[in-house]
Amino acid sequence: MTYMTETPEYVDEHARFAFDVFAKACTSRTTLEHLTGRWGILAMAALWHGPLRFNALRRRVEGVSEKMLAQTLQALERDGFVHREAQPSIPPRVDYSLTPMGRQTAGKLVDLIEFVESQMPEVTAAQARHDQAKVRV
């Protein structure tokens, strides 16, 4: 008997095109990680409502360290989602905003976030059921 009855594996119709996040070394995976990573998605969503200065963004995205916020914004800027505008004043003033592409992307991210938040009661219920079933040994 073969190991057979193998569930037919899906073949991505877009695989023949240049970018595929399922491919290990594809640059699109890196960009996706910048956008959906722990801090990237929150920074993008925060900027969705309008430009913010570095420390304002830091206060909005609770829990992010200065180091990680700087790193995250640098990656998003390089990818063309975020625009950085620094005024050479003292103290420094740096405004972060979304580019047109960034705004489109952030819209989808905000939509995702709001959907997830709306599903949280069901998620919480599922977690409770899961933990009940496990602990009941």
CB 60, min distance to a copy of itself, A? 6
Closest CA to 19 of 35, 33, 30, 34: 30
Query: Pick from 66, 80, 85, 86: which binds a copy of itself (CB under 8 A)?
Result: 80
DSSP run (H or E) holding 95:
strand 93-98
Q: Which range, of 10-18, 88-96, 113-121, 126-134, touches DNA by CB under 7 A?
A: 88-96
Q: Which range, of 33-41, 101-109, 112-120, 127-135, touches DNA by CB under 7 A?
A: 33-41
CB 105, min distance to a copy of itself, A? 7
Q: Does 65 bind a copy of itself (CB under 8 A)?
A: no
Q: Does 86 bind DNA (CB under 7 A)?
A: yes
DSSP classification of residue 8: P
- Residue 113 CA: distances (Å) to CA of 12, 27, 64, 97, 110: 26, 24, 18, 19, 5
CB 99, min distance to DNA, A? 16
Between CA 101 and CA 82 the distance in angstroms is: 9
Residue with tokens 């050479």: 88
Q: Does 106 bind a copy of itself (CB under 8 A)?
A: no
